[in-house]
Structure 1
Amino acid sequence: MKTVKIKKIEHIGVGSAYNITMRKNKNFFLANGILTHNTSDAQSALRRTMEQYTRTCRFILSCNYSSKIIEPIQSRCAVYRFKPISDEAVEVQVRYIANKENLIITEDGIEAIKYITRGDMRKAINALQAAALLNTKIDSSVIYQISATAHPEDITELISYAFNGNFAKAREKLNYLLTQQGLSGEDIVEQIYRAIFDQNIPERTKVYLIDKIGETDFRLTEGANTRIQLEALIAQFVLAGEGLGYEK
């Protein structure tokens, strides 16, 4: 494979967009994860630019959700899809960086990073960097604090209270997550969704609750009241628990 030296890298405007100048070769325009935030009209303008400079420039466009890229751009690109990185690979890289930066990271800290990143190495490195600003010894509490993520045990406890019919305790735990930890309603709903699969309940009940979680998530994105929607979701868990014969 022939290698070409990079002559210059220029940052363009706002966001992660760069112009890469190559020696005796076509230039490259790199847009890293910003295209999905553009409107359809803005993407159409980029399509026209791509067509205009196709003889002198190549475009590298990266994004998390290809469905948000208009079809005319996708049809002009060779699409490469990458699966999430394994937890083992994330752990190896995080330990390597921590060792090079003289950081002490605990086992529960590693598990916390794997939990919040779900195969996203960039997110793992950003979390490690943010945690290092607070303390050179990094544990799970630091990771959850800087990532605005509830501890999985808190979510499990919330679900357990609801399933066992203790609505008051579940509501108290929800209030703790919203006010003291400052979590958003969308984040709590997402973590409840992830935790529901680990519950020892019938599949039919999981299907019912996932449907209710989806309704709550949609209403929150539409601007509904966070506390009312989350308490209504907890109420659905209480009703589901009553139908399962949990001990009260």
Structure 2
Amino acid sequence: MKDAHVQDVYVQNGHMQNAHMQNATKKADDLNKLFNQCFAKTENTILVGNSEEPIYLPADDSCSFNQVVFTRDYFSSALHEIAHWCIAGVERRKQVDYGYWYLPDGRDAKQQANFEAVEVKPQALEYAFSLAANIKFRVSIDNLQGEETCSKNFELAVESQLLQLIDTGFNARTEQFLCALHHFYDTKALSNINLSRTQCLSETDSRKLEGSFSGDGRLENNTHGVAL
């Protein structure tokens, strides 16, 4: 995208286009504004929607801002991509898509295990953001055409990771964005929260409601754990 003033890069998408999507009452544009207010100046990073595929783009000659790009005007996609950005370290944020490579749907059991190991922490942060925004969270195994795995085990791993993060504390960028979400959506802080199972849907259940998912199939270059 062409360079622009921050106020000109807010995506004016309004409500989600799919009337059956469970989070249709939430505006992705609100996330654009909140994220950009938090990080456009301090981190030179903006949130951008209306893309066919999610991606992270470091600043270059075409745009002086780093861009966290999410799919169309999907609220959950925005939260998922923000979660990846909040985890990525300084060196990874200098690389397109943080230096990840994409392994599409259809992974075998070993590849899927690698995917889930990498995705536990981002999806835990997405879960936290979803609670702060008062929306349903949906775990994503992103492999409906591959070897069957137990999404419930992954769901439990994501929830366990979130509980650990609540206990030990979030990093500064995550905490800043959580505070912005809590203030905007008037929700309670996550400390000592009793996570409700009704707030976490399996991917199969969520696809019945939404017809889409927020996971993205990213894997590490060496696929041996998370080294952000």
> Which category describes the TM-score, using the shorter chain as reference length?
under 0.3
Q: Which has the higher contact order (CA 8 A, sep 6+)?
A: 2
State the structure with more CA Rg.
Answer: 1
Richer in helix (by share): 1
TM-score with structure 2 setting the length: 0.27
